[in-house]
Amino acid sequence: MATLKDVAKLACVDVSTVSRALNNTSYVHPDTKARIFAAVKELSYQPNLLAKGLRQGKRNTIGVVIPRLIMTVFAEITQGIEEEARKHGYATLICHTEDSPKVEKECLNRLRNGFIDGLIIAGTGRNTRLVRDIHSSGLACTQIVRKQDSLISSVVVDYKACGYEAVRYLASKGCREIGLINGSMQLTPYRDRYEGYRKALAELGLSETSAVSPQPASVHSLEYGYDCTLELLGTNPKLDAIIAAADVQGIGALRALKEQGRRPEQIRVISLTGHIIGGMLETAMTSMEMPAHEIGVKAALMTIEEIDSPEEHKAGPRHLVYQSSLVEREST
């Protein structure tokens, strides 16, 4: 493998000149720089980025801790993070936890002791003290989707408004028995959606029918949406609409309704977390869609800005709240 010395020898310059040219830290004559880059190409020289990062006290890597990638909005968010981080010369290390506090804690401890400059996390809320400790140690931190700690920057969505608007929309379609498939009330998005749902029902004089998971990890499954739909139907046979917290739950709900012989015009279904797959189903699903890719991009930018800010100029936490937008499809 070629070294910096090999490049310097072939370009007929000293090692420090090669270093200055490659890092663009000071002026190098254009002709000299051209010889150096020609030597780099001829020798297929690859700089040791890890050693460089250690010398500079920087790893150019961001850790990303999320519940799950498969069939969730976190896949699109993570893609936004990766694309934006790459533009700024950063790599990403991704950990998924299935919303297990134990797994999350293990991931956080590995990342903090490894080679990362910053952390982006959609946490369970059970390791808030550890995340705060990691942030206090000098690592940049940004919360996504779930804001657990007001002392750490966050990029989230107005979930109360999301739940509220979904109920009002279904009511405008003539629905009066509106059920909710939700997640653990320990997690902010599910708790806030429920509050928005209840507020709208109260204003309209409607009664509540909801199914809430006792186990956070189970909400990310088709089976959970399927089982909750059967529970809702058993609780309220007059049900004429279902709000699902996420598309994966909504897909399970649509399957259960089909097996029960219920048509879309009989029981309308809407998801509160739109995913691209929802629009490709046999019965395309209406959803309140969050700007997932944009959330990922913004989270990456905020984290990189914190990493690059001098210690004496570090800004306080920033909290960005996006709005969801209604995309109407066949399920309503």
Is pTM, for the whole model, over 0.85?
no
Residue 27: per-residue pLDDT = 82
Token pair 């608007």 is found at 165
| Same domain? 64 vs 124 | yes
Tell me whether residue 331 is in a domain: no
Tell me whether residue 302 is in a domain: yes
Tell me whether residue 85 is in a domain: yes
| Same domain? 105 vs 248 | no
| Same domain? 278 vs 133 | no
| Same domain? 173 vs 146 | no
CATH number assigned to the domain comprising residue 306: 3.40.50.2300
What is the DSSP secondary-structure string of 57-69?
T---EEEEEES--
Tell me whether residue 9 is in a domain: yes
| Same domain? 194 vs 273 | yes
Q: Are 145 and 139 in contact (CB under 8 A)?
A: no
| Same domain? 145 vs 220 | no
| Same domain? 169 vs 249 | yes
Tell me whether residue 274 is in a domain: yes
Three-state SS for 147-177 is CCCCCCEEEEECHHHHHHHHHHHHHHCCCCC
| Same domain? 167 vs 185 | yes
Tell me whether residue 121 is in a domain: yes
| Same domain? 147 vs 222 | no
Residue 215: per-residue pLDDT = 58
Question: What is the tally of structural domains in the chain?
Answer: 3
* Phi and psi, residue 110, nearest 5°: -65, -45
* Phi and psi, residue 324, nearest 5°: -85, 155
Residue 172: per-residue pLDDT = 97
| Same domain? 80 vs 193 | no
Number of DSSP helices (H) and strands (E) in the chain, helices first: 12, 12
Tell me whether residue 135 is in a domain: yes
Strand ranges inside 183-285, DSSP E: 209-212, 241-244, 268-271
Residue 11 lies in domain: 4-47
| Same domain? 81 vs 174 | no
Dihedral-angle region of residue 24 (phi above 0 means left; psi in -120 to 50 means alpha; beta otherwise): left
Residue 167: per-residue pLDDT = 98
Burial class (CB in 10 A: 0-12, 13-18, 19+), 1: exposed
Q: Tens of pLDDT along the chain (332 residues)?
A: 778 888 889 999 988 888 888 776 678 888 898 898 898 888 888 765 545 554 455 778 999 999 998 888 999 999 999 999 999 989 999 999 999 999 999 999 999 877 799 999 999 999 999 999 899 888 899 999 999 999 999 999 999 999 999 999 999 999 999 999 998 888 899 999 999 999 999 999 999 999 876 555 578 889 999 999 999 999 999 999 999 999 999 999 999 999 999 988 899 999 999 877 777 787 889 999 999 999 999 999 999 999 988 877 778 899 999 999 999 999 98
| Same domain? 299 vs 253 | no
Tell me whether residue 53 is in a domain: no
Residue 54: per-residue pLDDT = 47
